[in-house]
Chains A and B, each alone.
Chain A
Amino acid sequence: MDGFIRAIIQGVPIGGVFALVAVGFVLTYKTSGVFNLAFGGQAFASAALYFKLHVIEEWPQWISLVLSVFVLAPLVGLILERVIFRHLRNASDLARLVVSIGMLVLIPAVMKEILDIATVVKHPVGILPDGLHPYQLFGRYPVSRDEISQVVFAVLAALLLAALFRFTALGLQMRAVVESARMTELAGIRSDRITAFSWALSSTFAGLAGVLIAPRYTTVNETYFFVLVVAGIAAAAIGGLTSLPRSLGGGFALGVTAILLRTYLPQDSIIANQIQPALPFIVLFCVVLFWKDRATVSDPLATVDPPPPSSASDDRGALLTWGTRGFWSVVLGLMAMHALVWGNEFRTTLYTQAVIYAIIFMSVTVFTGIAGEISLCQSSFAAIGAFATMQFADRFGVSVIGGAFIGAMIAALVGAALALPLMRLGGIWLALATLAFALLFESVIVNFDWVGGLVPLPKVPRPLLGTIDFENERTFFVLCVVALLLVAFVVVRVRNGTTGLFLTAMRGSETAIASIGVSRARLRVTAFALSAGIAGLGGGLLGMYSSTISYSSDFGPFIGLFWLVLVVNLSTRTVEGAMQAAAGFVLFPEYILKPLDLGGAYQYIFFGIGAITFARHPEGILEFQKRRSMNSIQRRIDRRSGRSSSSEMPSVDTPTMGTTS
């Protein structure tokens, strides 16, 4: 009993921080439908400012606290709402998610540039002086000042929120919006003001959580806040992403459960070592799987994504088609020449990397572009491919190319297996479940000897085909290009074939596709498996390229988020989109940032800005620019040849139809 009480007392403070995150998260989700992953960035922003003001500049604690939590945090929230998310009200789940991931990366990068704390060697402290000072609760349970402040602020925030909801007009209106945004609008309440207010409030919660948790670490680094947010999301998921009191309770429950498990699980047991570190992710995964139905009943935002416009290239005439094809052939030809002939070996390796990432990114083309779903675990599929290649080649002596194909198949099987429990999930819930899987993969699965076994270093040899030794970077580049062409061929064939047709139809209406005799389950499994298989193949090649598998820097869950955003930003619908995203991913830092002498933060800043512009052009910037320039060129061609505007041409050129009749 003593141990039980002690565990609760130890779990409540961190639970309070989780609860703050969860409540803030639910506020914005309910009022604006944004699944705000940028929350981690917002928490970081306040923690960083507090650190700068109080620890570095040595301002008094309370001024620093007010400025960072009660000025900066609401301001960040307001800016996010006014400048970005307000314009996304009618955008798809995917668009909003992508923008929030962009912000997750952008906010810390900007804060670090402004505050100049990237290389400061000092340690964060809490909001009370001498935060480690212990008190004896009931004379026997020690708690520190930092922990007391965590509990007090979480409870205060909850009480204030309750009072706000109960006693103020604004609060009542907010509650109404939280219950049903649509109803509120019908009732004539301007939800704009309320949405803005909830963002400011939610951001304050994020900032508070950030400042409260910061003293746990030796430095203020955004990575730590991402982890915090995942735990917060798990707590919010317990509240179905909609209930504030349940999210609050979920936060505390999660904190206490973690400590209880640590107190009572047998030491050094499989459960303690494997399950414990993954607790929030397991909770998240299970909640999404088993409680999802209850949660979505009241979800007014569960709408079908608007149908994508037809691809820009569908509307162009033959001359322009050959023109653009010619242009790209020349560009790609020049790049290939640069990689193979003119450039030094470093250029070759860069291009090889771009080619491999293009393969991996095509898994997004399949899953998001064609099937219209969001997966946040593509990096795990790629890792599975890489590890399987390593296991088969290094430990079982199979040819490494064979290993890569086996790896792709294993990834496909895992994808298919994952598709089964996630069958009924769509949109944001699928995104959540796949994110949980990616985190689970990282914290548990990758450590198994038969998967990654990161010690000793997992090494992948280069292939040897007859007399062709792919140790040579140029030969290996050619091999990767061949793989890319093969994958691109498969993707295009599938997109234009029956499977693509079925998937497009399913995006249009899940009910109707079943009513004409197509199994949604099988279609879903197919999409998952193909996408995972492609990612796995790319992962295997990346392993060969690198010789050693660096899981955390190449395949971590947040890398996967980064990939998704990049591809979606450019274009998920076309194979070129994936290629250009890969080129951007690999070549941009080297060819643009380095010559301009811009620091690493700028990559993230550009990335974030890219995500914002994406919000305006949900089909992808590339697709948008392509359409615009093609239309103008087409008009010019038409004018010269005396035809009328292209828009009146029947679009017979749609993928499946055009060719035979």
Chain B
Amino acid sequence: MNTLLQAVQVTKRFAGITALNEVSLDVAPGEFVGLIGPNGAGKTTLFNCLSGLTRFDSGSISFDGVDLSGVAVHQRARLGIARTFQRMELFTGMTVRQHLLVTDRAHSRSGAMWKDILTGSKARRDELQRVDELLDFLDLGADADRDVAALSLGRGRIVELARALMTQPKLLLLDEPSSGLDISETEVVIERLHEVNRERGVAILLVEHDVEMVRSLATRVFVLDFGTRIASGTTAEVFGDANVQRAYLGGVS
């Protein structure tokens, strides 16, 4: 099996605390992988290392055959890594539609200033069409022209998801997309993620507390605890593992 994302023995220390201890992880193209572990296990730190927000101390990460060391956040995004954030990072002051438009522009790299000056850079029909499609796809139509500050936490998460999808990624890093969502919203998200993965062939690495969600979506799962990978394997294997049961799932299921 060829791999899309390959993290090898990634280690990250913060002021004496080892947040990640030689963690290795891989995701194949089009694969749906879960990453679970208790709070403070290092999941978000790992995400930050993958997306380039945090520099790690040792190990290596490669994506689509490219070594990512020294590759900036925005360049990784252009390579096809998109992500959402546990602590939401929306463009406050902009509407949902503008979020998607700005992302589409970023993706098509039409950001040169001279173009603004000469053409005015008005929204083109095809851009708006792509935006509308995605709005429909995630049921965001009703909120399209609202300022994101006015949205509920759950809707905000969906906007982040929409924005991540708008970059047409090869790999989607999702950091707890269901937290703050109500049941029906969660259902929509599960359904859509399924679709994104199956129909668009986007690989997904999902960090999630909702174990049921991971169980129903992921084909493979990694488990982190205290910065160490304590288990990995197919979903069935991992959820059957006694260690995992004890360390993490014991209290939940």
Q: Which residues of A contact B (CB under 8 A)?
A: 306-308, 310, 489-490, 493-494, 496-502, 504-505, 507-509, 511-520, 522-523, 526, 530, 650-652, 654, 656-657, 659-661
Q: How far is the CA of A272 from the CA of B198 in the complex (A)?
A: 70
| Cα separation A496 to B125 with both chains bound (whole Å) | 17
Q: How many residues from B make CB contacts under 8 Å with A?
A: 51
CA distance A661 to B166 in the complex (A): 19
Given that A508-B91, A519-B74 are contacting pairs, would A657 and B163 also be in contact in the complex, using a CB cutoff of 8 Å?
Answer: no
Residues of B close to A306: CB separation below 8 A: 92
Question: How distant is the Cα of A489 from the Cα of B105 in the complex, in angstroms?
Answer: 22
Cα A247 to Cα B253 in complex, Å, equals: 56
For B105, what are the chain A residues with a Cβ–Cβ distance below 8 Å? Answer: 498, 501-502
The answer to whether A504 and B116 touch (CB under 8 A), given A498-B110, A518-B111, is: no
* Separation of A517 and B169 alpha carbons in the complex (Å): 11
Q: Which residues of B contact A661 (CB under 8 A)?
A: 123, 125, 128
Is A656's CB under 8 angstroms from B106's CB? no
The CA-CA distance from A82 to B30 in the complex, in Å, is 61
What's the minimum C-beta distance from B88 to chain A, rounded to whole angstroms?
Answer: 9
Q: How far is the CA of A426 from the CA of B167 in the complex (A)?
A: 27
Residues of B within 8 A of A511 (CB): 53, 85, 89
**A509–B89 CB distance below 8 A:** yes
Q: Are A494 and B102 in contact (CB under 8 A)?
A: no
B66 contacts the other chain (CB 8 A)? no
Known contacts being A509-B89, A659-B123, is A515 close to B82, with CB within 8 Å? yes
Report A-chain residues with C-beta under 8 Å of the C-beta of B110: 498
Complex: chain A residue closest to B111, CB-CB: A498
Chain B residue numbers with a CB within 8 Å of A499 are 111, 113, 116
Cross-interface CB contact of A650 among B107, B120, B145, cutoff 8 Å:
B145
Please tell me if B178 contacts chain A, counting CB pairs below 8 Å: no
Most chain B beta carbons < 10 A, residue from A514, A526, A651, A660: A514
Known: A659-B123, A661-B123. A500 touches B116 (CB 8 A): yes
Alpha-carbon distance A516/B128, docked complex (angstroms): 18
Q: With an 8 A cutoff between CB atoms, is B24 at the interface?
A: no
Does B246 interact with chain A (Cβ within 8 Å)? no
Identify which of A490, A516, A526 contacts B106 (C-beta below 8 A). A516
Report the minimum CB–CB distance from A69 to chain B (whole Å): 43
- Within 8 Å by CB of A498, from B72, B92, B115, lies B115
Contact status of A501 and B92, CB under 8 A, knowing A514-B77, A515-B83: no
- Contact present for A513 and B91 (CB under 8 Å): yes
CB distance from B175 to the nearest CB of A (A): 11
20 A–B contact pairs at CB < 8 A? A497-B116, A497-B121, A498-B115, A501-B98, A502-B102, A504-B93, A507-B93, A509-B91, A511-B53, A512-B91, A514-B72, A515-B74, A516-B82, A516-B103, A517-B75, A518-B74, A519-B75, A654-B98, A657-B123, A660-B122
Q: Closest residue of chain A to B78, judged by CB?
A: A517
| Chain B residues with CB under 8 A of A505 | 91, 94, 99, 102
Say whether A498 contacts B116, CB under 8 Å: yes
Most chain A CB neighbours (cut-off 10 Å) among B95, B97, B113: B113
A619-B121 Cα distance, complex, nearest whole Å: 26
| A517 with B98: CB separation less than 8 A | no
Would you call B92 and A509 a contact (CB within 8 A)?
yes
